[in-house]
Amino acid sequence: MAKLINGKEISAKVKAEVYGETIKLKEQGITVGLAVIIVGNDAASRVYVNSKKKACEEVGFNSYEYALDENVTQQELLDLVDVLNNDDKVNGILVQLPLPNHIDENTIINSISPDKDVDAFHPFNVGKIMIGDFAFLPCTPSGVMELIDSTGVDISGKSAVVVGRSNIVGKPMSMLLLHKNATVTICHSRTINLAEICKTADIIVAAVGRANFITDSMVKEGAIVIDVGMNRLENGKLCGDVDFETVSKKAGYITPVPGGVGPMTIAMLMKNTLTAAKLGSNE
């Protein structure tokens, strides 16, 4: 039976470390501020934004929320980002995705100052991740790395399979594993012999967005299985991309859904915002 990797416990440790450093900065007269922009009334987005506000309170940050009407123009949103880019009280800027169809997400992401891009979505920061010289890491992949590290297993030399190739998770995830000297394979919807490839992996990161997609027949005995998925079944229950019931009997370590990767994403956002504040104070 697999050992459970408890994301709630590990994220609490990360936030406690961030809180300790935030107190030290306050003693130097430096406060940390995160601005979150939410456009429209998407229920899931509201849940995420509220979670981020709560996390800011826990670690001692100032939280600035900008809730905009779903009919806001792209230019009005760009103007707000420009104001926040130039606001010394704001160390990090986060625009909650998805945005309404009339607003181009890439244009908005590219307008955020790379120094305040605590999601690490700006092309400048993406490029720095590629070459291994980064200040910020995307929150979900960096959270996954913390979860893997918590097992005590040395990543170096291990075979890692990332299922999913999104810009937010799959691609940066593969780079972080590569930086730790794993041998990485990226799989996706058009991969041939996906099950056979997964069975070779010492580490599987599932980020494909399909409920219970990874089954025990695709997992090597004793593998580390990290489930990034968050899917809602017809009965209303949340589940991941991994069939937890069967895979947990075969894996060495596994993350639950919920309570695995989710809490880590927000904890790493706090860590990135702290980093931005430190970098800003050194200018």
Position 70 in a domain: yes
199-208 pLDDT, tens digit per residue, is 999 999 999 9
The residue range of the domain holding 204 is 139-262
β-pair partners for 94? 36
Give the pLDDT confidence score for residue 283 in this predicted structure: 59
Q: Which residues of 91-116 are buried (b: 16+ CB within 10 A; e: fewer)?
A: bbbbbbbebeeebeeeebbbbbbbbb
Residue 181: CB atoms within 10 A of its CB come to 12
State the total domains in the chain. Answer: 2
The whole-angstrom distance between residue 95's C-alpha and the CA centroid of its chain comes to 14
Pair (148, 39) in one structural domain: no
The whole-angstrom distance between residue 78's C-alpha and the CA centroid of its chain comes to 24
Cα 243 to Cα 159, 254, 263: the distances in Å are: 21, 11, 20
What whole-number distance in Å separates Cα of residue 122 and Cα of residue 104? 14
Q: For the chain, what's the residue count?
A: 283
β-pair partners for 222? none
Give the pLDDT confidence score for residue 280 in this predicted structure: 85
Pair (258, 143) in one structural domain: yes
What whole-number distance in Å separates Cα of residue 225 and Cα of residue 251? 7
Position 123 in a domain: no
Scan for tokens 């980020």, then name that residue: 207
Position 151 in a domain: yes
CA angle 222, 158, 260 (to 5 degrees): 55
Which CATH number characterizes residue 157's domain?
3.40.50.720
Give the pLDDT confidence score for residue 196 in this predicted structure: 97
238-282 pLDDT, tens digit per residue, is 899 999 999 999 999 999 999 999 999 999 999 999 999 999 876
Which CATH number characterizes residue 64's domain?
3.40.50.10860
Q: Which residues are catalytic?
A: 52, 96, 119
Pair (40, 108) in one structural domain: yes
Pair (108, 179) in one structural domain: no
Confidence (pTM): 0.95
140-153 pLDDT, tens digit per residue, is 999 999 999 999 99
User: Burial, 29: exposed, middle or buried (Cβ in 10 Å; 0-12, 13-18, 19+)?
Assistant: exposed
What whole-number distance in Å separates Cα of residue 185 and Cα of residue 260? 23
Percent with pLDDT over 70 in the chain: 99
Residue ranges of the chain whose pLDDT lies below 70: 282-283
Q: 51 with 80: CB under 8 angstroms? A: no
Q: 63 with 56: CB under 8 angstroms? A: yes
Give the pLDDT confidence score for residue 282 in this predicted structure: 64
